């Protein structure tokens, strides 16, 4: 299996404004390709990212694999993703919706991860 086809964390970076989008996936290569395809077709669900793509163009974006591991599970990937978003929230395209206290929630990102861990621990995963 090619390294980028493994589970991991990725970032889409706009070189013009240093803004970034973080994500986690079971297949980094496929997910980055999907993002690129949606941006090229002007149908990406993150409107701010799509707007900057349209303004600056593809040549000012990098698609970066930050972390890959064949033994990394969903809980670990989500924890890392939340950590990246919390650390760089002011320059992220990622947003937490429906929250008037989004910064409080993000800087307590570990609490989100703990709650997610508790919920996922209740599920039987094979």
On the question of pLDDT at 123 being above 60, the answer is: no
Confidence of residue 112 (pLDDT cuts 50, 70, 90): low
Encode pLDDT of 53-95 as tens digits: 999 999 999 999 999 988 878 888 888 898 899 889 899 999 7
SS3 category, 21: strand
Stretch 28-51: mean pLDDT: 97
More confident residue, 69 or 23: 23
> Average pLDDT over the chain, rounded to whole?
82
Q: Is 9 exposed, middle or buried (0-12, 13-18, 19+ CB in 10 A)?
A: buried
Question: What whole-number percentage of the chain has pLDDT above 90?
Answer: 52
Strands (E), the chain: 8-14, 20-25, 61-68
pTM to 2 decimal places: 0.76
Please give the Cα distance from 54 to 76 (Å, whole number).
Answer: 33
In CATH terms, the superfamily for domain 3-121 is: GIY-YIG endonuclease (3.40.1440.10)
Report domain extents, the chain.
3-121
């Amino acid at each position: 299996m090619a390294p980028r086809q493994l589970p991991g964390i990725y970032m889409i970076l706009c070189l013009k404004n240093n803004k970034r989008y973080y994500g986690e996936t079971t297949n980094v290569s496929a997910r980055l390709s999907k993002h690129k395809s949606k941006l090229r077709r002007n149908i990406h669900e993150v409107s701010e990212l799509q707007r900057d793509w349209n303004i600056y163009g593809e040549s000012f974006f990098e698609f970066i694999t930050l972390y890959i591991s064949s033994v990394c599970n969903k809980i670990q990937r989500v924890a890392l993703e939340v950590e990246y978003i919390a650390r760089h929230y002011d320059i992220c395209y990622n947003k937490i919706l429906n929250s008037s206290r989004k910064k409080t929630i993000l800087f307590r990102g570990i609490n989100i991860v703990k709650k997610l861990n508790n919920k996922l621990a209740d599920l039987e995963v094979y």
